[in-house]
Structures are given as C-alpha cells and as structure tokens.
A and B are shown apart, each in its own frame.
Chain A
Amino acid sequence: MSKLEKLLEIKDLRVEFGRKRDRFAAVNNVSFDIYKGETLGLVGESGSGKTSIGRAIVRITQTSHGDILFKGRKINGKIDKALDQEVIRKIQMIFQDPMASLNERAKIDYIVSEGIYNTKNYSSEADRKQKVEEALLSVGLLPEFASRFPHEFSGGQRQRIGIARTLVMEPELIIADEPISALDVSIRAQVLNLMNDLKKELGLTYLFIAHDLSVVRFITDRVAVLHKGRIVELAETEVLFNNPVHPYTKGLLSAIPIPNPRLERTRKIAFYDPSMHQYDLYPPKWIEVESEHFVLTDEKEG
C-alpha cells in the first residue's frame, strides 16, 4: 500500500475541550493516513471523538497537539490565507441531518452556490449557474430545482442537495459525518450508491464517519475503530470484520444485529470491559499484527 499517495496524514492528534481544571482530551494520540481514492471508515460509540476528528480536519475545531497534513502541507493551527482558502475548497463536509443542515430560507440555488460565492470561485454569473446546474445533475436532481426551497424536498433529496453543495467546490476529500443515519432504509441505499458512483467518476476520497457498522462494511475500504478518543484498531475492512483483535472491536462487531432470525437467536454479545487492561502499568503500543492491520495493545496481551 506504500505506493499509494497519501492525501491526508494525521500525526499524534490531540483535541481538547473545556478550560483549566475541566480541560479534557476528546481525541488523544490519534494517527492515521488517508490514501487518495479510498474510503476510510471511522467508527466508535458516541463520545468517542469521531466527529471531533472530522471537525479538526476541516478546521472547525482547534487542535491542541499534533499535525494534520494535507498533500504534505500542514493545515492545522495557524496557516496563511491562501492555504486556508485551498483547504476550504478541497476538503468538504456532508452533515448528518439533511433536515437541519440546509438553510430553510434560502433557495437551492443559493445553498449550492454559497461555497463558490465565499471563495469567489467563478468567473461570471453564467459560469456560476453552470456550476450549480452540473452539481445538481451529478447528484441526480433536475437543474430546475434550483429555484425551490428546501422544505419542498424529501429527506433523500435534501441529502443529495447537501452532497451537491460540496461537489460544486470540486473537492478532493469529503468528510461524511453520519451521512445516512437520519435517512430511511430505502433511501439509504440510494445515497450510498450515489456516494460510490461519485467516488468512481470524480476520483473522490471519503472519510466516512458512522456508527452503523453494516453500512461501514459495505462502503469503506479501511476502517479505524475509535474508543474514548484513541484508535484501538485499524485495518482493511474485510480483515477487520473477519479477524477483529482488540476486545473493544470484538464487542462492537458482536453487537451488530444481523437480519436473520435464526442467527439472531443464538448470537452472543461480547461486552467490552476497559478494566481488563492495565494500561497504567503496561502502556499500550501500536502494533502491526499482520500486514496493514494495526492494534493498540500492551506487552502483556501482545
């Protein structure tokens, strides 16, 4: 895999919230790379810091330690304006709830154009219209929809609008924060298909943040499992699902309900108890158990 180009590198990232005595690290010691053209899944329970990582990458949240490199250039902390503009253009985000993430009082035309207005990434009014039209078409919506308001659309269509407004920026990396968890089963499939198609057509790279593991298995190439702000396991998706090593990953995988009543009745859930580790005595290390399969573990368990 070393031949692949690293689009984004995260090194020893730490994100903290609160002040003084209440200060705590939501993300700690996190390092991973995202290769060009892949879909990396980030899974973990709520509060594990998956969204914080996503937000740190798009510079919404401050980082307190570590580096985030985009195409080899540092993009966290203080950066110059030109680079900031470039990051805004090249890294885009799709949000969870399409009901809440679209401005109810703006027309689709404005919602989709807002990004290019802000980055002045168009030469003329006709050019802007053209770009909006193309973005809408590529997500399977009609250009006529540009003059409508968000409330006239269904949940699936709204999420398409959310995707269209990222595409208009011509991004390279898209951070999808639980893009389908607020959608209905039948619409989920549509949005997943759309994301896969766009990836192929436009050569996009995704960071796919989710807690629904069955979806993650379907759409991602590699998965990182996050627990309490640390990555405990990282591997290719099928490797991870077939051969989980860390006890937390095992617990998480065993909790996925399978749509098969026969298997369900006998399914055993492995609950994860963090006190089984003695990380104070034996500090955990990041170990490669097999090729490209990393686990956080201490010497005793190793």
Chain B
Amino acid sequence: METPVRILSVKDLVIRFNLRGKTLTAIREASLDLYKGESLAIVGESGSGKSVFTKSFMGLLDKNGWVDSGSICYKGEDLARYKTEKDWLRVRGKEIAMVFQDPMTSLNPLKTVGKQVQEAIELHQGLKGETAKRAVMEIFTDVGISNPEKRYKQYPFEFSGGMRQRVVIAIAIACRPEVLICDEPTTALDVTIQAQILQLLKSLQDKYNLTIIYITHDLGVVAHVADRVAVMYGGDIIEIGTSEEIFFDPQHPYTWALLSSLPQLGIKGERLYTIHGTPPNLFKEIKGDAFAPRNPKALKIDFEQRPPYFEVSKTHKAKTWLLDPRAPKAERPKSIEAIRAQWGCYNE
C-alpha cells in the first residue's frame, strides 16, 4: 500500500426496501473508499446492513430493494445508476465477484464441479472446449485442489465442506475479478479448515493482486486477514481505521461494546459484557446516534443530532460526539483498557 489507488468509492449511499407496504431504510448515507490490493473487513451484528451494503456493489439487492440516493463509483462509472441486468453483467464476476457463506448451498448439486467452474471460465474469458478445461485444471491447482483430473468429474456431494469452499473460490477467481467480496467465507467451517481457507485467500490475493472485502462477525478472523476494519451499526459505518487502530484504539462506544463482549477476553467465573437492548428499528427514522439508546453513557446530543465523522488520524475516523472537542472526557470501559494493557504494544 505505497501509493493507495482508490478502486471503489461509495458516497452517501441510501438503500431502502419495501416490506409489507412499509419502507425500511437499510443503509443510511454510508460512505466508503476501497483501495487497490487491500483487505477490508466489515464487521457488525446481523441486521446492521453489511451484506446489503456489499450486495449493492453487484446489483444483487432483492427485488423489493433499491438504491435511493448516493453513488457507487467504480472505474469512472456510477454503479448506483445501473438499472438493467445487461449493465450489471459487465460488472458481475468480471470486475467484482463474490464468495458466499455456505459452500453446501452455493454449488449446483446436479452438475460436476469441473463443469461449474468451466461455465464461469467460458462465460468470462471466452475460452472454449479443451482450452477451457485446461484453464479449470490450472485454477484447481491454484486453489489447492489436488488430483484435478479426477476432481473435475466429481459432484459437490463428493467434496468436504472445506473443499467445496475452495471450489466456490475457484469459480469466483475464474472470472479474474478486481474486487472479491467474501461474505462470511469461513463461518460454516471448522477452525482448522478456516485457517486453510484464509491462507488460501491471502495467497490468491498476492498472486492476482486482488482487493478483498471480508464480511464477518468473527473478530479473530478480522485480526488475521484485515488491513483495515469498518464497523457497521444501524446501516452506517460508524468507525473505520486500520486493524491496529480499531483493536487497540477504538473510539466509538459500539466498537467498545463489540470488543468487550468477546469471550476471548472474558475471565472465567465472571460475567461477559453484554450490549443491552435491541438494534434500531429501521422502519423508523433514526434520530441522532443510532447506538445512543443502547449506550448507558450516551450524551444528550447523541439523541438529538447525528454525529459526523471525526478524524482521529489520517486513516482512522469515527462517528461519535465523544470526539468533539466540547464533549466531556469519556472513560473507555475497563475491558478496553485491559486489551491495551494485556497486549500492551500500542503506543500513541
């Protein structure tokens, strides 16, 4: 990351859904810049909008959802204006590809694994017949599937979970995309397999110079793979920074809460930290800081006005009034200070 090249730039994106006659605002003016070659992790609880946000980059929103305003700039084009499938086909797979969570359901059980990868190659690279087949073998070797000749003819049920996820990754890579979005790529897998898949993604990233967005709620995985971390809450990115900044110098009360509730930090016999209340109702308009109702130490202004981004460093910014110079000095929870003490390597 010597001279970061901006590859994708999302500005003030608003995404709405129609549900039973009511309108739900899933993404509320979220902005994000993605740089070439980096790994960005998006974390947050379910319903925070992580999946919807990234699906909108590929035009994969459900039929009842739409981009209401804002822009998604990619290579000089505004993806938010794309309307037809024909437009999207130029981006999908070729430019931006996706690896889904569950390798058990994202492959077609009735087709051989080789054919499924070959399909992607024929469609996106214009290769045919034997040459396409040879390309499949190459990709199989790339993603660590041994004995490709034999594996080509097998069906998904003959593959284990980890192997299937390798096939799914092979299909995504086959299109030679610039950006790879991995939606919970290892949640359905065992720890040992998880480690292998993450290592594979890292090596592919180096080989093909990929930009990867990881969507996950496992903060251990985040620490392992991410250069930068974006924390989402209530349809907005409330804090973003390098992974060291997020883990060792978090600023937003929600990021504190998220880190504090990790069982890794729990002391046996004591209670784990829990976040009270429920996530915001997205059918209603959210006033002020979306996290304020669940934040026991919320300021008065948190309920009235939405905080803008405050810069902590060049790479680190957070949407919380605590960073306003006029705000009273807030103490970070003990558990966060404990992380800093325990791992004690962060110097300000």
Contacts and interface: CB of A to CB of B under 8 A. Distances in A.
Contact of A196 (B161, B192, B221, B271): B271
A213 B194 CA distance: 13
A264 B190 contact: no
Interface in A249-265: 251-252, 255-264
Contact of A251 (B192, B194, B257, B272): B192
A188 B263 contact: yes
A185 B191 contact: no
B69 to A, nearest CB: 29
A299 interface: no
B272 A259 contact: no
Interface stretch (A4-12, A164-172, A267-275): A267-275
Interface stretch (A76-84, A119-127, A214-222): A214-222
Interface stretch (B22-30, B55-63, B212-220, B322-330): B212-220
A259 B273 CA distance: 16
A85 interface: no
B278 interface: yes
Interface string B100-139: 0000000000000000000000000000000000000000
Contacts of B263: 188-189, 192, 214-215, 217-219
A193 interface: yes
A215 B221 CA distance: 15
B304 interface: no
B226 to A, nearest CB: 8
Given A193-B272, A258-B220, A218 B266 contact: yes
Nearest to A254: B195
B346 to A, nearest CB: 9
A251 B191 CA distance: 10
B338 interface: no
B161 A257 contact: no
A214 B192 CA distance: 14
Contact of A258 (B193, B217, B264, B268): B264
B116 to A, nearest CB: 23
Contacts of B268: 218, 237
A256 B224 CA distance: 10
Contact of B261 (A45, A186, A260, A272): A186
Nearest to A211: B190
Interface size bracket, B side: 35 or more
Contacts of B45: 184-187
A240 B193 CA distance: 21
A255 B194 contact: yes
A46 interface: yes
Nearest to B268: A218
Contacts of B259: 259
Contacts of A218: 263-264, 266, 268, 272
Contact of B219 (A45, A46, A259, A262): A259
Contact of B217 (A154, A185, A190, A256): A185
Contacts of A189: 261, 263, 272-275
B192 A271 contact: yes
Contact of B190 (A46, A184, A259, A263): A46
Given A193-B271, A196-B271, A215-B263, A263 B192 contact: no
Contact of A261 (B218, B244, B264, B269): B244
Contacts of A184: 45-46, 217
Contacts of B341: none
Contacts of A186: 45, 257-258, 261, 274-275
B1 interface: no
Interface in B250-297: 257-259, 261-266, 268-269, 271-275, 278
Given A45-B192, A211-B191, A215-B263, A263 B272 contact: no
Contacts of B244: 261-262
A248 to B, nearest CB: 9
B78 to A, nearest CB: 33
B53 interface: no
Nearest to B342: A260
9 contacts: A187-B45, A189-B263, A192-B263, A214-B262, A217-B264, A218-B266, A237-B268, A258-B220, A260-B343
Given A184-B45, A185-B218, 16 more contacts: A45-B190, A46-B161, A155-B46, A185-B219, A192-B266, A212-B191, A214-B264, A217-B263, A255-B191, A255-B194, A255-B195, A256-B191, A257-B191, A257-B195, A259-B223, A260-B339
Q: Give the 8 A-B residue pairs with the shortest CB-CB distance, closest first.
A: A257-B220, A189-B261, A189-B272, A218-B263, A259-B219, A45-B190, A261-B243, A255-B191
